[in-house]
Amino acid sequence: MAEFRINIAGLAEGTYEYDFSSLPSAIGLEEPNYIGQVGARASLEKTRKQLFLRVQATVNARLVCDRCLEEFEQRLNTEYIIVYVSDTHSIEEIDESVEVQFIAQDTTYIDLDEDVRQFLILSVPQKILCSEACKGLCPVCGVNKNMTECHCTIENVDPRWDALRTLLGN
């Protein structure tokens, strides 16, 4: 059974708020990469023609820095909007930037597990850094320059870059 499920059978028109919490593995997020609880807050607005769903979800992730290769924890946050419609006439009134999903008129619930999982995965930054000031690893000796100062000298190996260096004043 789904962890994040909203029963829409018999809902009157109006706005409804829901709070969910679950282990990451219950919605398909791999442990130990995702730790603690996945939290999701959903706001569902029902009108005669559509269901407007706004979800905010959070989870802690264990990531590896791209510069220094150290493991660290970061809170991932995501927010998304989906409009559920049961006929094609309703879609003409919806903003093109919003995701639209068709549901049958006799649908009794909306399962959010897969959407929350996918949006949290997409919230992982493309460039994963433990901090913006991360100094990374020394390309010569491999020491983590955040923890130890190395005294390696980096030689200019490729002379083709010399002309650019003189323009930059280095």
Going from the C-alpha of 58 to that of each of 4, 6, 19, 97, the distances in angstroms are 13, 18, 12, 23
Per cent of the chain over pLDDT 70 is 92
pLDDT score at 104:
87
What is the per-residue pLDDT across 118-157, written as a single tens digit (0 to 9) for each? 999 999 999 999 999 999 999 889 999 999 988 888 776 6
pLDDT score at 97:
72
For residue 17, pLDDT over 60 is answered with: yes
For residue 88, pLDDT over 80 is answered with: no
Q: How confident is the model at residue 170 (pLDDT cuts 50, 70, 90)?
A: low
pLDDT score at 157:
65
Going from the C-alpha of 22 to that of each of 55, 148, 162, the distances in angstroms are 15, 40, 56
pTM of the model: 0.81
N-to-C CA span, the chain: 62
Q: How confident is the model at residue 161 (pLDDT cuts 50, 70, 90)?
A: confident
Q: How confident is the model at residue 75 (pLDDT cuts 50, 70, 90)?
A: very high
Query: For 59-88, what is the mean pLDDT?
Result: 93
For residue 81, pLDDT over 60 is answered with: yes
What is the per-residue pLDDT across 89-121, written as a single tens digit (0 to 9) for each? 655 566 667 788 888 888 899 999 999 999 999
Q: What is the DSSP letter of 137?
A: B
Helix (H, G, I), strand (E, B) or coil at 44: strand
pLDDT score at 89:
61
